[in-house]
Amino acid sequence: MSGRLQPDAAPAATELTELTELTEPTEPTEPKGTPEPALSIAGVAERAGVSVATVSRVLNGHANVRAATRERVMAAVESCGYRVNELARNLRTAESRLLLTMVPDFGNPFYAEIVRGIDSVARQHGYFMLLCDTGADPGRERSYFDLLRRRRADGAICLDPATVQQALADESVSLPWVACCEFDARVGVPYVGIDNYRAAGDAVRHLLARGHTKIALINSDEHYLYAQQRERGYLDALADAGLTPRDAWRVNLNCLDYEAGARAAAALAQLDDPPTAIFAVSDTLAIGVLNGLRSVGRRVPADIAVVGFDDITLAAQVDPPLTTIAQPMRELGETAARLLLKRLAEPQASVPGVLLPHRLVVRQSA
């Protein structure tokens, strides 16, 4: 949007209609003497210090309201106990005000802050978010996309593997969805993520700068595009240093579980020629690595250094605290939601992909 926002004006005819969609408080209060009259829409506006038209715009998710104003209005509405009559509005506008967030693994804490970011922006714009567990299964993904086709949801944010996205692209590229974290720019769908190749290279170069030349990689499912990109970053950083890793130092897993990381690390540590450092492509794997090394009597970082990826909350709490690549998780979610809302507001507009910055967080594990 360009230019300055216009000051609050008189409500349009459609806005006046929308004002009738406020209902009484959802839970009646106990009477205390003479009952207080229900607060009118004008009272909500007065409490928030805005016009009646502004209250209408906020409740109907219009974009041309300042964030601070939107927050004041929603606080006033909530304090009054009012809610929007969603059914009446949806029948009139053919909007559900519902956004889907498709996550391949609820058990991975990496997704939690991303989901919070999506939900925060969705709520600011009058949308609800439905969290969908796809299990990275194209069939389950299609069932959620059917909600878009039937107008049961307005848009979707997909965190599933790029292979799943590619399978859906031909039939779903015209639907309003964006890719978050895991994306393939060739699919032609708006996306937000980080430069996984460069981030992995930064992790390996940190280990090289610490004097390590025997650096192992514990990777996840190679069906994920990020896993392919991080492996290339690892290999190219070593090649630039004139090093070629042993095949035995490259482990591919089909999951991101703590236990899988622990088993892989224990096996690496007991090789005849073990690595002196391990780069794991997620913090969940890396935290498992710490436990696996401890189980076979290896000290971190004295015997084997460890670097993870993501900077989940637990990374700073383990022993030793984990050196890792930090992703801006909440910002990833917020940006994905804004891209989707832009696509909904301007269906014909070209919505570009966005790469957000990462950073190396140095702690005691490497």
Instruction: Please determine whether the domains at 96-194+330-358 and 196-326 fall in the same fold group of CATH.
Output: yes
Share of the chain above pLDDT 90, in %: 51
> Is the domain defined by 196-326 classed in CATH 3.40.50.2300?
yes
Q: What is the reported pLDDT for 88?
A: 44
| For residue 155, pLDDT beyond 60 | yes
CATH of domain 13-90: 1.10.260.40
CA 201, CA 340: separation in Å to the nearest integer?
31
According to CATH, the topology of domain 96-194+330-358 is: Rossmann fold (3.40.50)
Burial string for 290-318 (b: 16+ CB within 10 Å, else e) reads bbbbeeeebebbeebbbbbbbbbeebeeb
Write out pLDDT tens, residues 158-210.
Answer: 988 765 666 666 656 678 889 999 887 777 788 999 999 999 999 999 999 99
The string of pLDDT tens digits covering residues 275-295 is 999 999 999 999 999 999 999
Convert the pLDDT of each residue in 218-230 to its tens digit: 999 887 889 999 9
Domains of the chain, residue spans: 13-90, 96-194+330-358, 196-326
Given strand 305-310, what is the order of strands in its sheet? Answer: 250-252, 215-219, 277-280, 305-310, 323-326, 359-361
Residue 129's beta-bridge partner residues? 99
Beta-carbon count within 10 A of 268 CB: 24
Looking at residue 152, what is its pLDDT?
Answer: 85
pLDDT band at 20 (very low <50, low <70, confident <90, very high): very low
pTM of the model as a whole: 0.73
